[in-house]
Structure 1
Amino acid sequence: MRICVYTVLLGGYDTLLEQVVAANSKADFLCFSDSQNLVSETWRLERVDPLLPQDLHRSSREYKILGHPVLQQYDVTICIDASVLLRSTPEQIVAQLLPEEFDMALLAHSYRDTVLDEFDEVVRLNYDDRFRVYEQLTDYAVHFPAALDARPLWGGMLIRRNTQHVADAMRIWFYQVLRYSRRDQLSLPFALQAAGLTPHVVELDNFQSELHEWPVIAGRKVVQGKAPAFAHGPMVAELRRAVQRIKELEAQLADCEPAAVAALRNRIAQQAAEIEEGFAERVRLEQNIEGLRRRQWELEYVAARRSSMSRRIRKYARALAVKLTRGRLLAGKR
């Protein structure tokens, strides 16, 4: 089985990462680039021209999604983002992620639940012109709602067999990127559904695994990936979010069986009774404490009175003793 790992670099958006694992692999490593000065120790460079010179982002997607004629000689290709560093050889990656019964393998998105969430993030981060993003969102919400409810897929690593079924799905995907948002993760689930291609979806951390690390960025021109921000959105998107929230609430209600509700009510009543009992006990204890404090004050008052009386008695006794002593002295002189 012939395997090729390839990446795309147009317009100097990224620097080229050297792939150390290439030394231990029989796979070819190809980089498609428009640069005349790019050099590498681990990549074979293929000089290409951008399909759309004024839109390098979509131009790079031509090679990422559709590939290149030179790739037709390979049985399996692994397309990686330029900021992905492989930790395992291509042979190990294919063996682990692409079972024989699948023509394509993808990683599930690690930190978003639905494609609709991905749309929101693209707009929030200004990754594309939101007028076009909202047009795509409206189209999917009206005609292809299942594409919005799908689990988003990470586009940083695409593992594909060289089959006609895969080629058909990739053509649909590329048309979506040309027509709508350049953020290809928005249209990937739709393209797979439209082509009837079921990929092997792997639950693997997008950022770091035993197979790869991402993003390893050096000198990326981030501004090229941004778009102007505007604050508005289509009503149909809000309706889709409302429908999704209703489904979530209905699912929560479905879990509330009558027996569970009754048990919850009994538990609430029990806790309320315990709270009431605790309150009554607190009142009783506070009354006891107040009584003890009053008794303490009374005892302290009596003790103080006794102490004062004792001091007066001792003073009177001393005064009386002095008088008696003086009387005896005077009687003796006589």
Structure 2
Amino acid sequence: MASIAAYSCVTGDYDEIKEVGQLAEPGVDYYFFTNNRDLTSDSWNVVYVDNEGLDNIRLARKIKVLGHPLLDKYDVTVWLDGASTLRKPVSCFIEEKCDLAKYSLVGFAHRERDSIYSEALECIKVGKDNRDVIEAQINGYREEGYPDHAGLIESTVMVRRGHDELLRQTMEAWFYEIEHKSYRDQLSFNYVARKTGLSFDLLPLNVFDNEYFGWSKHRIKEEEYQIARYNVIYGRDEEFSGSSYWTLPYLREGRASLIEFDIHKSCSEFKIELLKHAGAEWANLTIECGSLSSYNLVNWCNYYGVNYFDGGVPTLFLYGDFSAGEHVRISIEMRYPARDAYLSLIKRLNHDLIASRAGQAESHQGERSLLGAVKRRLIGSNCGRKA
């Protein structure tokens, strides 16, 4: 019988331990690696590690990719992201979905994209890592001739075959990319695996919501929202062009968030994505730009006289005969409802839904979208999008 180890890692105070609970099974050892000595667990073997010169993000990536000497003796290892939760024992997933006689690694295909180039663009748009670092890395892959739409891993859960020399070499090459280039590991896995010839399988399942695994939102600190950023976008979303995307921080003026920048190039339209504000209340939007003829703000709704951004990315489209260098100044007040206000809103909406006639139920579809956005913001969710 194969020996199996499931393992996870959290560094700093990024997250808490998700207990295995009743899904812990005989024959599987559970290891949780962390440099946070305040973390303890009832179901994981907690192993404290040192940074050894790495920042917290790359330390977590090192454990994720290279494992740990304690894992070397196992025939199979199962990596679980710190926010992953079990819905079935890991042995069920291995037996039912993982052909480790054929593949050295089994993971999940990305649920939205199939290209490291589009993934890089998304990372730039939402500020996941330094833009210059990502562009240099991805442009290097392009110059080497790495193809577009060649697959993209969702590395939240990975099952790997032990005692596999090519796999070991591939993981070392993967971590080299992470350590010396962008720490966004999904940018480099498919590239490295193609170079080494690793045999791997990416399952066409949503890694965040399937019969084996769920997902619980990472701990989010309020200050992360206070330093949120916005995107200014010229051109098509699918086009990887650093000159078309500008990610900038909000300024503050009293209760208002300020968006100020000079238009990068002459155009008739562009858009601004208000990152990390799905579920927020908003009010008092003003736009100052001499050439502006019209605008459109999308992904919002009004309930009981209050404007809310719903589950999509709040996006402001601006139209006009814009010239390069023209200044734009936008002011908007945005805040997240307190928990009590959120619960009160749910109660009121639910009351109205129950009171509605059956034929009017469709008019409340937007409310579910809003509540989902606010719920993810305040209390997390067992399935949904990544942080």
Partner of 1:57 in structure 2?
57
Alignment of structure 1 residues 53-202 onto 2, 5 Å: 53=54, 55-99=55-99, 100-146=101-147, 148-162=148-162, 163-202=164-203
CA contact (8 A) 1:77 1:159 kept: yes
Answer 1 or 2: which has greater helix percent. 1
In the TM superposition, residue 149 of structure 1 has moved relative to its aligned partner by 2.8
Give structure 2 stretches of 5+ with no counterpart: 245-387
Partner of 1:267 in structure 2?
none
Partner SS, residue 41 of structure 1: coil
- Name which structure has the greater RCO, CA cutoff 8 Å, separation 6+: 1
Distance 1:217 1:151 in 2: 25
Residues 196 and 223 of structure 1, relative CA distance in 2, 3 Å threshold: farther
Give the TM-score taking structure 1 as reference length: 0.65
Alignment of structure 1 residues 319-330 onto 2, 5 Å: none
Partner of 1:30 in structure 2?
31
Partner SS, residue 50 of structure 1: coil
Query: What is the number of residues matched between the two proteins?
Result: 235
In the TM superposition, residue 36 of structure 1 has moved relative to its aligned partner by 1.6
Partner of 1:212 in structure 2?
213
Distance 1:41 1:189 in 2: 36
Partner SS, residue 193 of structure 2: helix
Partner SS, residue 91 of structure 1: helix
Distance 2:104 2:157 in 1: 14
Give structure 1 stretches of 5+ with no counterpart: 242-334
Residues 10 and 180 of structure 1, relative CA distance in 2, 3 Å threshold: same
Distance 2:221 2:80 in 1: 18
Partner AA of 1:76 in structure 2: V
The structure 1 segments of at least 4 consecutive aligned residues displaced by more than 2 Å after TM superposition are: 20-26, 217-233, 236-239
- The RMSD of aligned alpha carbons is 2.7
In the TM superposition, residue 52 of structure 1 has moved relative to its aligned partner by 3.0
In the TM superposition, residue 224 of structure 1 has moved relative to its aligned partner by 7.7
CA contact (8 A) 2:157 2:207 kept: no
CA contact (8 A) 1:21 1:89 kept: no
Distance 2:105 2:161 in 1: 6
Distance 1:105 1:119 in 2: 23
Identical residues among aligned pairs (%): 26
Residues 229 and 67 of structure 1, relative CA distance in 2, 3 Å threshold: farther
Q: Does 1:14 align with 2:15?
A: yes
CA contact (8 A) 1:129 1:228 kept: no
In the TM superposition, residue 139 of structure 1 has moved relative to its aligned partner by 0.2
Residues 83 and 222 of structure 1, relative CA distance in 2, 3 Å threshold: farther
Alignment of structure 1 residues 227-246 onto 2, 5 Å: 237-238=240-241
Distance 1:207 1:37 in 2: 27
Partner SS, residue 191 of structure 1: helix
CA contact (8 A) 1:126 1:227 kept: no
What's the CA shift string for 1:288-311, capped at 9, x where partnerless? Answer: xxxxxxxxxxxxxxxxxxxxxxxx
Residues 56 and 203 of structure 1, relative CA distance in 2, 3 Å threshold: same
What's the CA shift string for 1:158-195, capped at 9, x where partnerless? Answer: 11011111101101100111121110000010111111
Distance 1:129 1:107 in 2: 26
Give the TM-score taking structure 2 as reference length: 0.56
What's the CA shift string for 1:59-84, capped at 9, x where partnerless? Answer: 11111000111101110000110000
Partner of 1:43 in structure 2?
44
Answer 1 or 2: which has greater strand percent. 2
CA contact (8 A) 1:15 1:220 kept: no
